[in-house]
A and B are shown apart, each in its own frame.
Chain A
Amino acid sequence: MSARANKALTAKLAVVVVAMFGFGYLLVPLYDLFCEITGVGGRTGTVTESTAALAKADVSRDVTVEFTAATAPGLPWEFHPLQRKVTVHPGAVTEVFYLARSKSRRATAGQAVPSVAPFDASRHFKKIECFCFTSQQLAPFEERRMAVRFVVDRELPPAVHTVTLSYMFYNVDAAAAADSTATAAATGEKT
């Protein structure tokens, strides 16, 4: 038996181990990309106001859009949509409102995460303006009406008649949120 050969093979296998550890982490961006492409996880799309304005509404089709809302534990807010559902034509820009009200005596901040079901509709649900683009800060007991402008694009699969948009608000650190909102606003960055 040769100690050399053992060492060489051990080294090769150790490389595999390290590579697989890295692969575990690589799964994170891969999963993200996969969701982006397929709409898994209910990722929604975004579109600019001007592009959306170019599209013509398909008045021959009605799509029902339903709204739900929830807050994660740890965020002392009341949060709900101001309309249960709306009927829209694909291609037409629509605006709806949500209401958030802080029940806290301190300044709080939340980040809303949207999700659309069914998955094959999520890519076709495009937001122009949304309170989820940045984190929201509420002063003690502040109440805020927040808008979402969206368009359901005309490529929405014909089998889909109802789309559900849901938001979950998560607690984010108020100070840090103020910081990042400031930069986001400065750079016009959207998430």
Chain B
Amino acid sequence: MASIDTTVSHDNHGDHAQPYGIMRWLTTTNHKDIGTMYLVFALLMLLVGGLMALLIRAELFEPGLQVLDPARFNQMTTLHALVMIFGAVMPGFVGFANWQVPLMIGAPDMALPRLNNFSFWILPFAFTLLLGSLLTADGGPASGWTLYAPLSVQGGMGVDMTIFAIHMMGVSSILGAINIIVTIFNLRAPGMTLMKMPLFVWTWLITAFLLIAVMPVLAGAVTMLLTDRHFGTAFFDPGGGGDPVMFQHIFWFFGHPEVYIMILPAFGIISQIIPTFARKPLFGYDSMVFATAAIAFLSFAVWAHHMFTVGMPLAGELYFMYATMLIAVPTGVKIFNWVATMWRGAMTFETPMLFAVSVVFLFTIGGLSGLMLAIVPADFQYHDTYFVVAHFHYVLFSGAVMAMMGGAYYWLPKWTGHRYNETLGKWHFWLTAVFFNITFFPQHFLGLAGMPRRIPDYALQFTEFNMVSTIGAFGLGIAQLLFVYIVVRCIIGGERADARVWEGAEGLEWTLPSPPPAHTFTTPPKIA
């Protein structure tokens, strides 16, 4: 860690010559460039992870083994999750933070620009290593993204590559989080008090604290795996006095806050979009801030709801059940506030708003299935079935990923200076929303009927719903090519966007021209 504190912010690079071509991107310390790189990387990983998902769905189209042998299948479910979580969702949100946090708080750049460059450039190497594991003799990791011992202790070299890749991703996101916290604390324009910050900035501040609190714990857990594998320790080996269940506790101590790391910035994005298109200020700003903090705080105390079935004393099961249900309260406050913001607003439904409204609606479905899973006796039935898969895709795809898509449409005109094609944007939205539900809604039924997750083959009675789900998945995948097309077109050209972009938009970023010049707010703006 000693090397990082050499990267102090610099205000002296105003006029020096910009390197061209690839060197510009390799050496840039500009938050806008780095934000762009993060977003492009995340989109790329969304496509890579999506391709893996399609392989999984192709295999599950009908019973029997057609496309993948079971070992490859397990590697695909594992890598799909790791790529989506650590490659698409987390870097995507960091990309939004890089672009938006300085613009929204009136800062000239991120506080630690060189660190910023470093934390991005770790990622391509980490993912080369992770995906490279597929080429080793034993293939990639096949233990599921949760890397439970003893499976992950037994795997081949691919598991070691995964462990190192996770270390690198961890370093990247910890450095990114530190940068965001320092920026928010030290670089706010005069008058931008904490309780005046846009909600997106608030949600990211809290997310960043979650990241620095739990990513090191994950790093510790995988380090223990590594030493168990190669250096004779027995953290998770009962023969040597360890306990594999302990891995699950440590993992989920990280894992549950991690799911909030993946949703809080999404809450932030739609808290920006909804007021814009409802043309009303956000309802209950203060309660939104406190609800976000409460969710983050509680998220440290509910981890064992992922392991109700490992065997726990009754008191433990009851505690984790009620604590989990308690999180639904601040979450409900947020949903109430979004709906109240829309209530009697002068609403219009441009693409970002369509995404935001659907996030509120579909995320709520995911929250409700989460509540069902939190009920201990019910979870004994649903655990490790497709019901869980349906649950987390409702919160993660129609929560996190669709919020990012909405955010992309919302800010693209600001970032590029061009309007995207609104008709195509709406097409993209409807295709995504419809195919998403075709893909994942039937998985609730499959889970309730008892279909286990992470298996390449299944009993005949599950065939119809699986076919529907696979058809939906291919539709969903193809619809994202439209997204790529729209984004690329918008970057290249299109109708010029003015500074405000959206009639109802409020906030500092909309006072800047579209696209903003490379250096913005070099003199702090005046905050009313």
Partner-B contacts on A (CB < 8 A)? 1-3, 5-7, 9-11, 13-14, 16-18, 20-25, 27-28, 31, 35, 38-41, 72, 111, 113, 117, 119-120, 168, 170-172, 191
Known: A18-B1, A40-B313, A41-B243. A170 touches B237 (CB 8 A): yes
Pairwise interchain contact A10-B212, C-beta atoms closer than 8 A: no
Contact of B343 with A by CB under 8 A: no
Pairwise interchain contact B219-A38, C-beta atoms closer than 8 A: no
Known: A6-B9, A31-B246. A21 touches B220 (CB 8 A): yes
Pairwise interchain contact A17-B187, C-beta atoms closer than 8 A: no
Pairwise interchain contact B212-A18, C-beta atoms closer than 8 A: no
Contacts of A10 in B (CB 8 A): 4-5, 112, 178, 182
Contacts of A120 in B (CB 8 A): 313
Contact of B18 with A by CB under 8 A: no
Pairwise interchain contact A170-B112, C-beta atoms closer than 8 A: no
**B250: nearest chain-A partner, CB-CB:** A27
Contacts of B238 in A (CB 8 A): 113, 168, 170
A168 to chain B, nearest CB (A): 7
Contact of B311 with A by CB under 8 A: yes
Pairwise interchain contact A7-B5, C-beta atoms closer than 8 A: yes
Among B178, B220, B239, B249, the one with the most A-chain Cβ atoms within 10 Å of its Cβ is: B239
Contacts of B181 in A (CB 8 A): 9, 13
Pairwise interchain contact B239-A111, C-beta atoms closer than 8 A: yes
**B217: nearest chain-A partner, CB-CB:** A24
Pairwise interchain contact A20-B111, C-beta atoms closer than 8 A: no
Contacts of B221 in A (CB 8 A): 24
Pairwise interchain contact A20-B216, C-beta atoms closer than 8 A: yes
**Given A13-B182, A24-B220; 14 other pairs, CB 8 A cutoff:** A1-B9, A1-B107, A6-B182, A6-B186, A9-B182, A9-B185, A20-B213, A21-B219, A27-B246, A31-B243, A35-B243, A40-B312, A111-B240, A119-B313
A166 to chain B, nearest CB (A): 12
A9 to chain B, nearest CB (A): 5
Contact of B235 with A by CB under 8 A: yes
11 A-B pairs in the complex with CB atoms less than 8 angstroms apart: A6-B182, A9-B181, A9-B182, A9-B185, A18-B216, A23-B216, A24-B219, A24-B221, A25-B224, A40-B312, A41-B245
Contacts of B120 in A (CB 8 A): none
**A27: nearest chain-B partner, CB-CB:** B250
Pairwise interchain contact B249-A23, C-beta atoms closer than 8 A: no
**Measured between alpha carbons, how far is A62 from B221 in the docked complex, in Å?**
44
Contact of B214 with A by CB under 8 A: yes
- B10-24 interface bits toward A, Cβ cutoff 8 Å, 1 = contact, 0 = none: 010000000000000
Dominant secondary structure at the A interface: helix
User: Among A3, A17, A117, A168, which residue has its beta carbon within 8 angstroms of that of B1?
Assistant: A17
**Measured between alpha carbons, how far is A171 from B238 in the docked complex, in Å?**
10
Contacts of B239 in A (CB 8 A): 72, 111, 113, 170-172
Contact of B93 with A by CB under 8 A: no
Contacts of B127 in A (CB 8 A): none
A158 to chain B, nearest CB (A): 16
**Measured between alpha carbons, how far is A38 from B174 in the docked complex, in Å?**
35
**Measured between alpha carbons, how far is A13 from B211 in the docked complex, in Å?**
11
B248 to chain A, nearest CB (A): 11
**Measured between alpha carbons, how far is A7 from B5 in the docked complex, in Å?**
6
Contacts of B212 in A (CB 8 A): 13, 16-17, 20
Contact of B108 with A by CB under 8 A: yes
Contacts of A35 in B (CB 8 A): 243
A147 to chain B, nearest CB (A): 21
User: Among B111, B250, B312, which residue has its beta carbon within 8 angstroms of that of A1?
Assistant: B111
Pairwise interchain contact A6-B217, C-beta atoms closer than 8 A: no
Contacts of A6 in B (CB 8 A): 8-9, 111-112, 182, 186
**Measured between alpha carbons, how far is A109 from B273 in the docked complex, in Å?**
65
**Measured between alpha carbons, how far is A31 from B310 in the docked complex, in Å?**
15
User: Among B5, B178, B182, B217, which residue has its beta carbon within 8 angstroms of that of A21?
Assistant: B217
**B222: nearest chain-A partner, CB-CB:** A24
Pairwise interchain contact B220-A1, C-beta atoms closer than 8 A: no
A1 to chain B, nearest CB (A): 6
**Measured between alpha carbons, how far is A72 from B242 in the docked complex, in Å?**
14
- B194-228 interface bits toward A, Cβ cutoff 8 Å, 1 = contact, 0 = none: 00000000000000000011111111110010000
Pairwise interchain contact A1-B246, C-beta atoms closer than 8 A: no
Contacts of B218 in A (CB 8 A): 24
Contacts of A1 in B (CB 8 A): 9, 11, 107-108, 111, 186-187
**A38: nearest chain-B partner, CB-CB:** B313
**Measured between alpha carbons, how far is A14 from B243 in the docked complex, in Å?**
30
